[in-house]
Structure 1
């Protein structure tokens, strides 16, 4: 598969049956993510139709043709518990759709299904791990806005007009997601996520957002912009 043919990137990280991260980035501008890479897995998910290939172009800068020429599916015996890393590239749709309904005819996958206590090492495993971290950093600010939309019904003006956020149905599950997200996200990065942003309530009222906290505690506050 040639690099020029890639139109979707999929990144997933799983521990046992629980998904810690799922990121999909499309060349046509669709961006989707669930999770922060840790456990318990954050269930809040979001999808935006950005209308451009900015995220795709940035993440693909780290992908060489050599990577695409080395598909791998490593599986080993599971003794204590499983850990799975997957990075997959898709392209050449046969049905004219380049988004969620695409019927891709070409793909390359780098998959590592390992025991939690594995001593296995591979240069492509290092790439997959680093690539997942890079994709998270690239989408962290956007995903923070997805969290605020799902948790507080506050939509950042930075989000594309066509944006969906899906949250767990119960208050208990929502509280768990809130706790899990703020335990896993980098606290020092949070102020940057809200810098120069404005958030609009479902009633159309515009707010600013301030965040204060340490590694042990965190608080944030929306204030109406007069």
Structure 2
């Protein structure tokens, strides 16, 4: 602001540059506040699993449709490999939407430009823990093994410069972890450097 009032006041190019910087920082701060509020709301909710039937296929289709422009911007093609017919799990539709939105958004941002992201769904018939597995796989640079145990911590960043470029807040995966905990669900992460990453959400059927 001081620069705009001073040296840049009569320089249109410099003024536009500083205004763009201010706009970017304001947007980042707004996203950070939104994520912090989301996390606070989740932490205040009792850990009672939501029981409403959620059409998982329709929910994930909606996420993919909403992120179509981001995928196109990053040269990413999103491929679906779904179970035939409707797939229902107990849960909170808005919260599950947020889970898959965060995971798919990350895959589109950090995956290989000009590549693909796959979203697959499979039934798990395990007698102890039946349910649905949803895997979001990208083919980007991957994640080093030492980062995987900490990746869902608040503000934990693997690549600070890349996170800033993609306007991340460092809270998305922490939000995912809290929502899945409330759903008695779990997140598993598999990755090798140079071979992309796969994030699998297991949602119990009961």
Q: Which has the higher contact order (CA 8 A, sep 6+)?
A: 2
Q: Quick check: which one's strand share is greater?
A: 1
Shorter-chain TM-score: which interval?
Answer: under 0.3
TM-score normalised to structure 1 length: 0.25
- The structure richer in helix per residue is 2
